[in-house]
Amino acid sequence: MKKSIKRINIISIFAILSLTSCSIGIIDTSSSDSTSTSSSSSNFTSSTISSSSSSSYVSSDSSTSNISSSSTSVSSSISTSSSSSISSSTISSSSTSSSSTSSSSSSSSVEKKISMIDSLVLNVGETYKLEYEINFTPLESVSWLSENESIATVSNEGLITAKKEGNTKISIIVDGLKASCNLIVKDDNKEISITMYGINDFHGSTVEKNSNMGILKYGTFLKQKGKEENTVLINSGDMWQGSLESNYNHGELLTYAMNDIGFDCFTLGNHEFDWGAKYITSNMQISSSTPFLASNIYHFDIENKKVLDHADELGEKYTIKTLESGLKVGIIGVIGSDQITSISSQFADEYTFINPEEVIKEISDDLRVNKGVDIVVVSAHASAADMTSKYGGIAEYSSVSNKKYADVVFCAHSHQYELEYVNDVPFIQASSNGVAYSKVTLNYSKGQVQSYEATNTENLALDISEYDTSLSNLYNKYKAETDAIGSETLAYVSGTLYSSGTNSIANLVVKAIADEATNQGFNIDYSMCNNGRASVKGNVTYADLYTALPFDNEVFIVKALGSEIRNEAKYSSNYIYRINEESLDDTKYYTIAVIDYLALHRNSSRNYDYFPSAEIIGKLTKDGQSIYNYRDVTHDYLLKNSNLNTAILGHLSKESNFPELAYKTVVEELISSNYNENSLRLSIASRDATSKEVLC
C-alpha cells in the first residue's frame, strides 16, 4: 500500500509541473488538507503580490506551504554562493487562483511570489547571476534594474557586474511585482583598516573611582568609538557581577548599557552563572542588539557524564557583522573548558564547556566557507596564557578554508595585561574593572589580514567632557533603587582590611560566620571562606561591602575530614577561623561553616573535590530571606560591632600547611608594613594555643 502511494505522488508531480513555469519541489498527496515538500539547503522567503490570475503551483517549503479552498502561501529555495545572505520580503494584495490537490479543485485566494536572495557581497570585477523563482506564469517580460550603475550593472538576464566599491540595490520586476537584492561591492586590492576594541571582566564597575572608569565614562568612550566606520566592539565576559548597582538587579543595568553602547558581542564568563542560568536567559531576552555568545557551552548529563546538545538558551554559537566596507566579521565566543570549576556547582551541574579549540575550528570553517566571512574574531573568557598554551591551534591555517582559524583573539578571566602572538595572531587581554581596553587594528587586503597593531591602553585618560545622555539616564534610574541601602554606614574600621593577605576582610568574614553559626545553634570547629575583591577602611557602607564581597554565596554547615580541611587551608586564597583548641587530626571529622562554592565544588571530572567526604548538615538562614549569604552575615555582624577596632587573623600559613601562625612572624610583618598606633588589634588564631591579642 505504501509503495502505491509513492507511485501516485510521482505521477502527480509530473502532472502539476507540466502546468507551471518553474520546477519546484515534491508534493505529497497523502493528505487533502496540506502539502509537504522537500527543500534545498539554502533558506529564503519570498516577495509576494496578488493580481487577477490563475495558476497551479507546488511549494518547496513545508513550513509555509498551505493548500486550502481559501488561501495558499508559497516559499521556494535556490542555491546561492557562499557570499550571499538569504532572507525575505513580502508584498501582497488580493488574488484568486486554482489550486490542485489529490481530492479536489476549487477557486482560492493566492499570492504571486518572486523569491531570491536579499543580500550579496561581490568584489570589484566579479560577476554573479541572480537566480529567482516565481509561482506564476508571467504575463510580461522580466526586467532588471540597478539603482547605481556606477557601482554595479545588471543585464536583462540578471547577470551582475561589480564596477567599484560601494552599495547599491539590484531589483527584478515581473508583472508589477518587485523584489530586490542589497549589493555590497568591495575592492580586495584596496587596503581596509578595521579597528576592534575589547573589554573584559568589567565586574559591574558602574561608578568612576580611581583608575576604574565606570560605565558612564567608559561607556561614553566606547559608544563614540563604535560609531566610527569599520569598528567592532568586543565584550569577553564577567560583565555583571561586582557592585551593588549591578548585583541588585542581577545584571539588568549592564545589559541595557551594553545595548546602548552598541557592543557587537557579549561572551559569557564564569561569573555570569553566579545567580544561576535563569538570569542569563532573562538578560539575553532584554538584549535587543548585543548577541550573547556561548559557542562551547552545552547541556550535560552529570549522572552519566555525557555531553548533550548546545545550550541555545544561554547564547548563540556565533554572530556576523557586516562592516561599512562590505567585509564580514564573524565572532565566536568561548569560555575556557576548565572554568566549569570556577562556578558554584549548584549552578553548573547541567552544563559543560567543551574544548574551545575544537569548537572554534569547526565554526570558523563554516563561517569562511559557507557564510562568506572575511575575518574571524574569537572572544574568549580565558586568559591569553591558557588560550595559547592549551588552544593555540586556532592560530594555524585550516585545510578547509586555507585561512587561519582565527585572525585575532580577545581574552579575559585572569585580570592581567596580556599580549602574546602565535603565528602572528594576537592574543590580548586588558586587565579588569574598566581600567583599560584592548585595541587591535587589522589591515585587510587581497582576501586576508595583512598586518596587525595590538595594544593595551592602561590608566585611561579619557577626554570625556560629559557623559552620554542615554547612559546617564539609564544609570540614574537604577541608582535610585540602591542609593538608600547602599549609603548605609555599617561600621568604622580603624586601618584597612585588604582584599587579601595578612590583614584581609576575609578574616572579618570568617569571624562573622563563626559567630552567626554559633548563634544559630551549630557547634562548629572552624569557619572558612576565600578572599575578598576589594579593601575597606574607615566608614564602611553597604555599597563598600558589596564591592568587597560581591558574590551571593550561602553558608553551609558540613562535616569534613581533618585531612581535607588541612589541604584547603594551605591555599593563600582561603581563610579559616578556629573555635576550639583541639589539634587538627587528619582522620577525624570536624564541623565547619563554609561558603557553598567551597562546600559543593566539583573538579574538571565533575566530582566533588574540596571536601569530598563532606556531609551537609545545615546552612545559615534568616527569617524572611530565601538566601542568607556570607555578605549579609557580615553586614549583620558589623551592625552589632559598629566600632570595629579588631580584625580577626585566622589565615593559615601556606608554607607550613596548617601549623599555628607564628606570633613573631605576624608581628614582624605588621611592623614592616608601617603599622602605627591607629592600626588594628589582631586576634591571632593559632592551632594549639589559646588565641592571643597583640597591639601593633
Distance (Å, rounded) from C-alpha 517 to C-alpha 523? 8
Distance (Å, rounded) from C-alpha 430 to C-alpha 438? 5
- Cell numbers given for 114: 518572486
**Phi-psi group of 540: left, alpha or beta (phi > 0 → left; psi -120 to 50 → alpha; rest → beta):** beta
**Phi-psi group of 495: left, alpha or beta (phi > 0 → left; psi -120 to 50 → alpha; rest → beta):** left
* pLDDT on residue 665: 42
* pLDDT on residue 643: 58
Q: SS3 for 616?
A: strand
* pLDDT on residue 647: 41
Which residues on neighbouring strands pair with residue 449, listed in sequence order? 444
Q: Where are the alpha helices (DSSP H) in 287-394?
A: 356-370, 384-391
Distance (Å, rounded) from C-alpha 410 to C-alpha 242? 21
Interhelix angle 384-391/356-370, rounded to 10 degrees, is 80
- Condensed to tens digits (0 to 9), the pLDDT of residues 577-599 reads 888 777 888 999 999 999 999 99
* pLDDT on residue 480: 87
* pLDDT on residue 312: 97
Q: pLDDT under 50 in the chain at which residues?
A: 1-108, 645-696
Distance between the two ends of the chain, CA-based, in angstroms?
Answer: 96
How does DSSP assign 147-200, residue by residue? S-TTTEEE-TT-EEEE-SSEEEEEEEEETTEEEEEEEEEE-TTS-EEEEEEEE-
Average pLDDT, rounded, for the chain: 79
* pLDDT on residue 577: 84
User: 585618560: which residue's cell?
Assistant: 461
* pLDDT on residue 572: 73
Quick one: 161 exposed, middle or buried, by C-beta within 10 A (0-12, 13-18, 19+)?
middle
User: Of all residues in the chain, what percent carry a pLDDT higher than 90?
Assistant: 56
Q: How far is CA 335 from the centre of its chain?
A: 9
How does DSSP assign 329-350, residue by residue? EEEEEEE-GGGGGGS-GGGTTT
- Condensed to tens digits (0 to 9), the pLDDT of residues 457-498 reads 876 667 787 899 999 999 999 988 888 888 888 888 777 888
